[in-house]
Amino acid sequence: MDVPSIKIDLIHWLTELQDKSVIKQLQGLKEQQESTFDLSEEQVEELDSRLEKYKNGEMKFSSWDKVKERVRSRAEDAL
């Protein structure tokens, strides 16, 4: 089913919906989709910088196990 068909199906379903709890859940979902937040200029610059590094292959990634190992090692060294 394509997106316009799904939307029409949902509209028909919603017009018949009587369950108030489902309606409230849908309202909450709608509000989440509509809510936006503003980032500071510094935050936008940092995100743009990180995205550029990612696109250029300049970022280093680690597995969760390696991160845990580094943290544990630093904690032991600090003691």
Tell me the C-alpha distance between 47 and 37, whole Å.
15
Q: Name the residue range of residue 50's domain.
A: 3-78
pLDDT digit string (tens) for the chain, length 79 residues:
899 999 999 999 999 999 999 999 999 999 888 887 788 999 999 999 999 999 999 998 999 999 999 999 999 888 8
Quick one: pLDDT at residue 64? 96
What is the secondary structure of 12-68 as a DSSP string?
HHHHH---HHHHHHHHHHHHHHH---PPPHHHHHHHHHHHHHHHTT------HHHHH
Q: How many CA atoms lie within 13 A of 22 on its CB side?
A: 7
